[in-house]
Amino acid sequence: MHIRIGTRKSPLALTQSEMIGKRLQQAGCTVEYVKIETSGDLFMGDLTAVGGKGLFVKEIEEALLAKAIDLAIHSLKDLPAELPTGLCLAATPLAEDPRDVLILAQGSSLADLRAGAVVGTSSLRRQLQLKALRSDLSFVPLRGNVDTRLRKLSDGVCEATILAAAGLNRLQKKISTAQLISVEDMVPAVGQGVLALETRSNHVELRNLLEKNLHDAATALRVVFERSFLLACGGDCKTPIAAHAVLHDERLSCTVFLANPKTGYSVKLQENCTATAPAANELGKKMAQHILAQVKR
């Protein structure tokens, strides 16, 4: 089978697409990469004002629906809660590290930051959870790919920044002035560390191939819970929202975080359920109801 993979042009997007492409070649397929510039890549202002993270996938999904490509590789955390009609997630490969990483210009831990230090991040999820650990910190917006953000850090735009461990690992970047933040201290974004393999719902042959060669059941179970929670919350990139699930001894342990973007008031909840997709889906909805009621108080 010849598979045209649609990908953004950033180094991380290309690396992720090539990872999947190599697996498909090992399965006997031929692969072609189609580089697509998205609205999110072109717009460097506040994403919340122009449509949010969905701008990083919009043109790629349009190419899928137009049959200009066969497969899209996304970071799952960039996908909106609902997919366009006619598209589906065909497989979820084994996830990378879901944690966030604090990277400092000097020092190697949160404690090394001076009082009132400036942290560069445009993520309200990260800002509010880091503020809970160090209330004295201040923030400046910071966008761009991994290298752009690291360059801005070295240029003195800020004294620290926060990136996803998964992206750094896939790019094989080892940074000495970095501290991994536990998922207890900073709940990850929905789907953080997971790659989404999106294709047309009616492309049955490709869906079967992807499920057979690239699907990881434990990762898929985590995704069911996290995206169920996201959908039930009605979350978008304007909402400081996070969810993470991990499989422990046939139980799915789930943590969620939600904040009121206007007041900064936040709630974190933890529950668990049996390790089945229906149970994960129902728990996502249930925890969304509970946390929405508390945040709106």
Active site residue ranges:
78
CA-based nearest residue to 162, from 196, 117, 194: 117
Residue 254 token pair: 């789930």
3-state secondary structure of 87: strand
Say if CB 272 and CB 212 are below 8 A apart.
no
| Residue 72, beta-bridge partner list | 6, 198
Say if CB 243 and CB 270 are below 8 A apart.
no
Residue 219 and residue 247: Cα distance in Å, rounded?
9
3-state secondary structure of 127: helix
